[in-house]
Structure 1
Amino acid sequence: MAKPYQSRLPAIAVAGCLGSRGDAYSLNQDITAEESESYHAQQMRALKDCGVDIVRAATINNVPEAVGIARAAAAEGVPVNISFTLDCTHKLKSGPTLKQAIEMTDAETAEAKPDSYGINCSHPDEFEPALEPGYWVHRTRSLRPNAAKMDKVSLCKPGHIEEGDPDELGRLMGDLARRYPNVDIWGGCCRT
């Protein structure tokens, strides 16, 4: 897929994607870091064997799973971007703030720290208030928002399509791009 664009772009990176174990919108608090590492290790090996440049772990809602993913990626020597999802409280469903989740994951992974972090499957109204000042926010490189402000469970119901307000989303994301130049991986989630 990248071949037609190789002469037009300075570089093309292939990202392998993986998600959380189980339902990304449930608490999933029963997974330990060790279980997460074991669970995601096979996926990391397969993605490495496919030649990915980076793994994107999306819609992660708890720290132990993030820690296990980071350790599994480090064991395979694959850079990983761990993308958390936040709810209307501006926190992960499991309770921590984004700052706490990133700082705790970094603290528990030492040399196996993720390459970077991101936010996905959340509208800017959910995640923008969580972007508190501090070093940790510079570890955030990826924003993949939902276009709609609806709760995630409603967005995922079959037969329902909610597009949100694309003009408003564009303005919000443009403002975030100006305020956070370290964010260089952009995309969308859920009807974006």
Structure 2
Amino acid sequence: MTILEKLDRPFLCYTGIETDLIFNQGVDLPGFATFPLLENEEGRELLTKSYLEQVELAREMGCGLMFESVTWVANKDRAAAIGYSANLLEQINVDAVQFIRELRDNICDVPIILSAQVGPRGDGYKPDSQMDDGEAEQYHQHQLAQLAKAKPDIVSAFTISYPEEAIGIVRAAQKHQLPVAISFTVETDGLLPTGMPLGEALDAVDAATDNYAEYFLINCAHPEHFLPNLNDGPWIERIAGMVANASRCSHAELDVATELDDGDPKELGTYFAMIKNTYPHMRIFGGCCGTDMRHMREIALATT
């Protein structure tokens, strides 16, 4: 059974833990990295609390849940910037998936998919130094090889901003026989940070990889930004869901923000109801930057 076939109901997906920890809970996350929390009991308790809050919401709403591993920045370049060597990363990536597997093993009444997160090599908002697809495959295959040892259900690449990097990730996943999903981020104009329309990016990835990706997502943008650019082209059927920001701010504004813009949870839920009604094939819904369980509850109410 493919991952898409397992999405037999709405599945919640929460990727906003970093902003919640930093702004709401006062946790220091150098380099926006959550994987160091696995190294001590206090950090593991924080992560466990977050995952179990998601479980309780999914249980209440009768929906499924994506357990996202804390490996979004656990790649060579971004981990090195906060003092982690390449040798340390292998165990970190394996441990992060094992952590969510052990949590899932104790839950029998909520469908849970183990999603091993990967992120861009650099800044997902500002792709100043772009790789070609061959370089991207070579770069990302190191983390994909580590994650493959942990056997997640799927690898999910979030905040990808140009198709060549997405193509490299998909090819690396295919090499290691891992199901993979790609989530693109868009700017306030609904276009990728490079200026490419979203549909063109999806078509480019599929054309270069023989449609190997299980599905695509949109994340780290407010619905007001990406909804106007969605249309009835064939590529829309490849998008399995949305993981939205709470804020309407641009990525440049979010980068320098000293206070959290948590938007309006109820309004965000209204947008998700519109998405669900307009695109009934979509199954994955959730919150990214600026969201917390208030937003996730509204999203769940709107889509289940």
TM-score range normalised by the length of the shorter chain = over 0.9
Contact 1:28 1:62 in 2 (8 A): no
Residue in 2 that maps onto 1:64:
164
| Higher Cα Rg, which structure | 2
What count of residue pairs does the alignment treat as equivalent? 189
CA deviation digits over 1:46-93, x for unaligned, max 9? 111111000110001101101101111111111111000011121001
Q: Is the 8 A contact 1:29 1:94 kept in 2?
A: no
Shift of 1:29: 4.9
Report the Cα distance in structure 1 between the residues aligned to 2:168 and 2:136, rounded to whole angstroms: 4
Aligned to 1:185: 284
- 1:73-112 aligned at under 5 Å gives the runs 73-110=173-210
Greater relative contact order (CA < 8 Å, ≥ 6 in sequence): 2
Partner Cα separation in structure 2 for residue 30 and residue 2 of structure 1: 37
Unaligned runs of 5+ in 1: none
Structure 1 residue 175 corresponds to structure 2 residue 277: no
1:109 Cα offset (Å): 1.3
Partner AA of 1:41 in structure 2? Q
Provide the rounded CA distance (Å) in 2 between the counterparts of 1:13 and 1:39.
26
Tell me the equivalent position of 2:264: 165
Letter paired with 2:160? I
1:1-192 equivalences in 2 (<5 Å): 1-6=103-108, 8-9=109-110, 11-110=111-210, 113-157=212-256, 159-192=258-291
Q: What do the CA deviations read for 1:135-163 (whole angstroms, capped 9, x no partner)? A: 21010013100011001122233632110
Residue 131 of structure 1 and its aligned partner are, at CA, apart by: 1.2
Query: Does the 8 Å contact 1:121/1:189 carry over to 2?
Result: yes
CA distance in 2, matches of 1:128, 1:20: 24
So what's the TM-score if we normalise by structure 2? Answer: 0.60
**SS of structure 2 residue aligned to 1:14:** strand
Letter aligned with residue 32 of structure 1: D
Inter-partner Cα distance in structure 1 for 2:229 and 2:106: 39
Q: Residue type matched to 2:133 in 1?
A: A
Task: Mark the runs of 5 or more structure 2 residues left unpaired by the alignment.
Answer: 1-102, 292-304
Q: Which amino acid aligns with 1:97?
A: P
One-letter amino acid of the structure 1 residue matched with residue 283 of structure 2: D
CA-CA distance at 1:118 after TM superposition: 0.4
Shift of 1:12: 2.2
Identity of aligned residues (%): 35
- Which whole-Å CA distance do the structure 1 matches of 2:193 and 2:257 have between them? 22
* SS in structure 2 of the partner of residue 16 of structure 1: strand
Post-superposition Cα deviations, 1:8-61, rounded to whole Å, max 9, x if no partner, equal 13x321000010011111124531101110111011111111110001100011
Determine the C-alpha separation between the residues in 2 that align with 1:44 and 1:93: 25
Counterparts of 1:56 and 1:120, CA distance in 2: 11
Residue type of the alignment partner of 2:290: R
Maintained 8 Å contact 1:89/1:126: yes
Amino acid at match of 1:127: F
Bigger helix share: 2
